[in-house]
Amino acid sequence: MSKKIVITQMPYGEDTLQISALWEENRVLDLYLQSVKTRSMLGDIYLGKVERVAHDLKAAFVRLDHNQMCFLSLKDCTSPVYKQPQRQGMPKPGDELLVQVVREALKEKLPAVSTNLSFTGKYLVLTTGEHQLGMSSKLEKRDKERLKQLLESKKEENIGVIVRTEAACATNQEILEEYTALTCECQNVLQYGITRTCFSCIRQAQPEWAGLLQRIPVSELNEVVTDLPAVYQDVVHYIEQTGFFQKEKVRLYEDPMLPLYKLYRFEKTLEDGLQEKVWLKSGGFLVIQQTEAFIAIDVNSGKCETKKDAEALYRKINLEAAHEIAYQLRLRQLSGIILIDFINLKQQKHREEIMGVLSNVLKKDPSQTVVVDMTKLQIVEVTRKKTRKSLKEVLADGRKGSDYA
């Protein structure tokens, strides 16, 4: 299936947004927005300072600079790396330690940080908090056995390794080369980071387009296109360094008559992403509402009514809705607790079919997404990991001309 990565900028309200998008089947599949006025902290590694410890919350509050406080869950505080060489154990006020931003500031919540630093490649993820060798659940058994045998003897004791799905298509040499490069990067951060002054940013996260290049199999990616000359040079340089893609397929778009954001209809995508009602091809529709506590999604039959076989009609609408819901969660960056009210079905096998289809399509989501259960009222409970602001929140910031990261 042919995919494109599109990188551009477009005006929005009083702001200008930088867009990194994955384009598939003539529509945006993944959309990452960033104000050109600010840079996201997500994924950055800092030498922070513990301000206070809240034992009742089982958390610490870590300052990254004079203006930014963050939340550190103590249950995630495994193998912290302190500036003080002999320091061990749980954080205390005044401690300086290495932390990575794992969640943006969301509404009234502070950004979240972790002492479990991660370094992501195309085939592997290295971690400092968990020291095991783990495998993607999507890997075949034979691939797991091959990769486990390859990496077990090479793995450093103080570093964990998670093998990604794409590793199945890589040669042993490619895996080992990436492992060596990521290990060097990790050790440099651990050794160099603790020598820096407090509040230093030790390592900046990669841009969103680099994450897309890492995640998408080369066989599925048709091209990378941008109308930003500086970004074009950065992408070519990144590909030359990593070998993740063919630089000949990176294209600089240079048509002054039609901006790239208009060619790919990003204005329409953003407009649609703010609408509560989403029409389905069958004539049914979704109603998507964001509340303070959860995301509510209602599936409606709409224009589709029949007196002959209502069960078959509702099954058809629900199946289409399952696919569209998975798409909308990614496009809108909806996360947290998600409650889906499908049209009620009488037959148990049809309800199980809907649950199976929804689970399968959500497995393709790059964010951790879990189908929990279907209640007696046929409400499906889903959770999606919170790491960044929703599309609605980002665009609200853009209209106000405020900074967001």
326 - beta bridge partners?
Answer: none
Q: Which pLDDT tens digit goes with each residue over 36-51?
A: 988 889 999 999 999 9
Q: Which pLDDT tens digit goes with each residue over 192-209?
A: 999 999 999 999 999 999
pLDDT of residue 6: 98
Whether residue 189 contacts residue 98, with contact meaning beta carbons closer than 8 Å, is answered with yes
pLDDT of residue 306: 66
In a domain? residue 149: yes
Question: Are 221 and 291 in a shared domain?
Answer: no
Question: Are 48 and 33 in a shared domain?
Answer: no
Question: Are 282 and 381 in a shared domain?
Answer: yes
- CA dist 163 and 176 (Å) reads 12
In a domain? residue 399: no
Question: Are 292 and 368 in a shared domain?
Answer: yes
Residue 165's domain is classified under what CATH number? 2.40.50.140
Task: Tell which of 149, 176, 204 closes a domain.
Answer: 204
Question: Are 163 and 23 in a shared domain?
Answer: no
Question: Are 211 and 187 in a shared domain?
Answer: no
Question: Are 186 and 45 in a shared domain?
Answer: yes
Task: Tell which of 160, 182, 204 closes a domain.
Answer: 204
Question: Are 336 and 238 in a shared domain?
Answer: no
Question: Are 85 and 128 in a shared domain?
Answer: yes
In a domain? residue 397: no
Residue 280 belongs to what domain range?
275-390
Question: Are 240 and 317 in a shared domain?
Answer: no
In a domain? residue 395: no
Task: Tell which of 204, 234, 254 closes a domain.
Answer: 204
In a domain? residue 404: no
Q: Which residues of the chain have pLDDT under 50?
A: 401-405
The model carries a pTM of: 0.90
In a domain? residue 405: no
Question: Are 165 and 222 in a shared domain?
Answer: no
Total count of domains within the chain:
3
Question: Are 47 and 33 in a shared domain?
Answer: no
In a domain? residue 229: yes
pLDDT of residue 403: 39
